[in-house]
Amino acid sequence: MRAEDVGWNANRMVLGKHSGRNAFRTRLEELGITFEKEEDLNAAFSRFKELADKKHEIYDDDLQALVSDAIQDSANEHIKLVSLKVAIETGETPKAEITLSINGEEKQANAEGSGPVDAVFKAIESMVNSGCNLQLYSVNNITDGTDSQGEVTVRIESTGRIVNGLGADTDIVTASAKAYISALNKVLDDSARAHPQQI
């Protein structure tokens, strides 16, 4: 039976926790995504399995966000998220504890903020000291449902240069941290192009 026979588009194949590496690779190829190196495929599959533990069904949009995250990580590796812990309670100031790998060295910081995302960004800044100004913070869901991944876009400005960062995760605070780190990596990447408006 074909997916179209029951009203589904052919590209609405759902992967899940029990999907194997071959099914994962085949679906990515159908989406036009291939990897030059086997290690890159293995890293993406590992991320897929982590996501499958959090999310019951994984759709094409989830896969594309997952691969985009993997590509960004491999392209800009000055800063990596190691772990994140956030504490929020009604009537209390949100707190964040974050561990980052900065140029291969693990560093940890704590911060408070007006909300959990603000606390996370302040904790990151306390280690990086980028001096960047946050210009945009945007959240969108990738798929439907309460277990959907959230995709966060962050735009920061540093000495006249404007960059965007993207992050996706089933936890919106983690997605926010990934997006901010993605943007910071672009600021720190000497080979990154200048913003077209600044040329």
Task: For each of the domains in the chain, give its residue range(s) and CATH number, in order of start.
Answer: 3-74 (no CATH), 76-197 (3.30.160.270)
In total, the chain counts a number of residues equal to: 199
CA angle 94, 100, 106 (to 5 degrees): 130
Per-10-residue mean pLDDT for the chain, 199 residues long? 53 64 80 78 78 74 70 68 95 96 94 97 95 93 74 90 87 93 84 45
pLDDT on residue 74 = 56
pLDDT on residue 108 = 97
One-letter amino acid of 7: G
pLDDT on residue 21 = 77
Residues near 127 by Cβ (< 8 Å), separated by ≥ 6? 100, 102, 107, 109
Helices 172-188, 60-75: inter-axial angle, 10-degree rounding: 40
